[in-house]
Structure 1
C-alpha cells in the first residue's frame, strides 16, 4: 500500500469521503423518504406520499444517468422507498413506511456494536475494502482504536432513531413519527459527521507505514 498521508486520521478521512459519497450522496439517499414524510404530514394520503417519493427517486436517478455519474446512492434510495412502499401497501397503514427504517437502524446498531465488542469495528472494513485488503488495517492497533471510535459515532444515531421512533410506531402516531424521521435524519446525521470530523481533525495518531491505506 502507498502512503498518502502522515496520520491515521488523514487516511481515514480521505477514505470516508469516498464511502459516504459526499454531500450529494447523503442528500440523494435521504430525499425520497424525507419527501414522503412531508407529503404525509400535509396530505395524509398514503398513495400521494408514496408516489411523490418514488417520482423524486426516479428523477434523481435520471439526473445521475444524464450526467454519467455514479448512481449508487440514488439506487439505494430508490430501493429503500420501494421496500417501504411494499410494507405500507401490504398493511394499508402509513406507519409501516417507517418500519423498514426502524428495523434497518436496529440491525445496523446491533451489527456495529457487535463488531466493536469483538475488536473488528465496521469502519475498518469500510476503509480496507477500498484498497482491496479488508483486513490489513487490523494490524495497526491505533487504527483499530480510531475505527472503533468512529463506529460508535455511526452507531449512536441508529440507536437514537430506534429509541425515539419505535414507541411512536407502536402507538400509531404517524405525524409524530414522520416529524421524528425528519428531525433524526439530516440533523442527527450531520451531528454524527461533525463528531467524526472532530475525531479525524485532531490528526495526532501516527500512521504505521506498513499498514498505511
Structure 2
C-alpha cells in the first residue's frame, strides 16, 4: 500500500499543490518534475533556438528538434518509466514544429504557446469574475477526486472563506504570469527577433512556472492545512457520536 505522503511527493504541477496542507518538505524541483523533467521540458526549446541562430537552416532545426523529442519518449519507454509527461511534451513540440515548418518561419514555433497562454488568461479571468477561482477548482479536484456528491464537495471548499480567498489570490497570480509572458514575448514575435524570443520563452517558462508554484504553495498551505484539520475534527466528532449512540436493538 502506497503512503499518502509519498503519493503527494510524486505529483507535479498543480498536483503537488493539492498536498500543500500536509507536505512539510514541499520541493519546487519535485513539483516541476525533478531535474530530469526540467531538462526534458527545456531541451527542445534550447536546441531549436540555438541551432536556428547558429545555422539559419529552419528545416535542419525542425528535424533535429523533432528527433530529440521522439528520443525522449523512446528512452522513457526503454526504461519503463512514465511517459505521460514526455508524450504531452512531444505533442506540444510537434504542434510548434509543424506550425513553423508549414509557414516557413522560425518565429511561428512560438505561436502555440501564445495561444495556450491566452486561453488560460481568459478561462482564469472568467473564473475570477464568477468568484469561483479556477485554480481552486483544479487543485481541489485533484486533491479529493470527487466522483459523487459534487454539490457537497463544491460547497465544502467554497464555503471556507480563508481557503477561497487564497485560491482567488493564486488564480490572479497565474493570470498575471500568463499575461506577462504575452506582454514580453509578443512584441519580440512581431519584430521577428527569434533569438531574443527563444531566450524569453525559456526564461519565462520553467523558472517562472517554478516561482508561481512556490508562491502559490506559500499562499495556500496554511488555509488548506486548517481546512483539512477542521474536516478531520468533524469526521472524528461524527465517529465519536456514532460510537456512543450505537443502533443496538437489544437495548431497552
Q: TM-score range by the shorter chain?
A: 0.7 to 0.9
**Cα offsets for 1:156-203 (capped at 9, x unmatched):** 221111001111111212122112112222332232233223324556
Map residues 21-170 of structure 1 onto 2, 5 A cutoff.
Answer: 22-23=33-34, 24-130=36-142, 131-133=144-146, 136=153, 137-170=157-190
Q: Does the 8 Å contact 2:162/2:223 carry over to 1? A: no
Instruction: Give the TM-score normalised by the residue count of structure 1.
Output: 0.80
Aligned length: 206
CA distance in 2, matches of 1:115, 1:107: 12
**Residue 191 of structure 1 aligns with which residue?**
211
Q: Which runs of 5+ in 2 are unaligned?
A: 6-18, 236-252
Distance 1:186 1:105, change over 3 A: same
Confirm or deny that 1:177 pairs with 2:190.
no
Q: Does the 8 Å contact 1:84/1:100 carry over to 2? A: yes
**Residue 21 of structure 2 aligns with which residue?**
10
Q: Does the 8 Å contact 1:124/1:147 carry over to 2? A: yes
**Residue 209 of structure 1 aligns with which residue?**
231
Structure 1 segments of 4+ aligned residues over 4 angstroms from their partners: 11-17, 200-205
Distance 1:140 1:188, change over 3 A: same
Q: Which runs of 5+ in 1 are unaligned?
A: none
